[in-house]
């Protein structure tokens, strides 16, 4: 059974300037879980031991450091298989279908067309990252894309000519 919640809508800029992707990158994180395992594209992305307790998320703005490290996955393999125990000891199992979540294959972004810089053969640099997060009794799926911009995002910082906003695309509580 695939666990699908109502889809969260991307920002309006995503539809105003539609950028499509045929491949993506992926990473999974487990927080506040016991024995967490995530399989995606036939590979373990997380493989904790049966009694291994994953720590809580790091303090501070830890999500800014998330980057998908499993690269160049063709859209879309079978749903991610997730197995874990929540901290109360209850066993959970889920299938998370990236093809359903990202069925339109659009890069989620908040960059107006006028601010997009050309980067090699277009306005994006590489493939979007898909980030699956298991945290106790919830699974969240985020997406993130590096998009070069014509303007500095931090005025005076010449190295800030890009956006890599993180968007929550799907969530489900168990």
In this predicted model, which residue has the larger pLDDT, 6 or 116? 116
The C-alpha atoms of residue 61 and residue 13 are separated, in whole angstroms, by 25
pLDDT, tens only, 106-150 = 999 988 888 888 765 565 667 999 999 999 999 999 999 988 888
The secondary structure element, H or E, covering residue 142 is strand 138-144
With a cut of 70, say whether residue 163 has pLDDT above it. Answer: yes
127 token code pair = 């493939």
Give Cβ neighbours of residue 157 (< 8 Å, ≥ 6 apart): none
- Alpha carbons within 13 angstroms on the beta-carbon side of residue 137 total 6
pLDDT, tens only, 51-86 = 999 999 999 999 999 999 999 999 999 999 999 999
The pTM score is 0.89
Average pLDDT, the chain: 91
- Which phi and psi (to 5°) does residue 86 adopt? -75, 170
The C-alpha atoms of residue 132 and residue 64 are separated, in whole angstroms, by 14
Pairing state of beta strands 33-40 and 80-86? antiparallel
Q: Are 83 and 171 in contact (CB under 8 A)?
A: no
Contacts 24+ apart (CB under 8 A), 92-95: 92/137, 92/174, 94/3, 94/139, 94/172, 94/174, 95/1, 95/2, 95/3
Nearest to 167 by CA among 63, 78, 94: 63
With a cut of 50, say whether residue 1 has pLDDT above it. Answer: no
């Amino acid at each position: 059974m695939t666990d699908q919640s109502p889809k969260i809508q991307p920002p309006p800029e995503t539809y105003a300037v539609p950028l499509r992707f045929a491949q993506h990158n992926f990473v999974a994180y487990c927080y506040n879980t016991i024995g967490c395992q995530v399989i995606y594209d036939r590979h373990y992305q997380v493989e904790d031991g049966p009694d291994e307790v994953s720590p809580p998320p790091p303090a501070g703005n830890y999500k800014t450091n998330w980057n998908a490290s499993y690269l160049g996955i063709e859209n879309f393999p079978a749903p991610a298989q997730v197995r874990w125990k929540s901290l109360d000891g209850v066993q959970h199992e889920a299938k998370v279908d990236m093809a359903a979540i990202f069925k339109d294959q659009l890069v989620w972004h908040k960059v107006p067309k006028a601010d997009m810089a050309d980067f090699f053969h277009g306005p994006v640099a590489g493939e979007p990252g898909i980030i699956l997060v298991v945290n106790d009794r919830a699974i969240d799926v985020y997406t993130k894309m590096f998009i070069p911009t014509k303007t500095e995002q931090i005025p005076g910082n010449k190295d800030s000519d890009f956006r890599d906003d993180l968007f929550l695309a799907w969530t489900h509580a168990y």
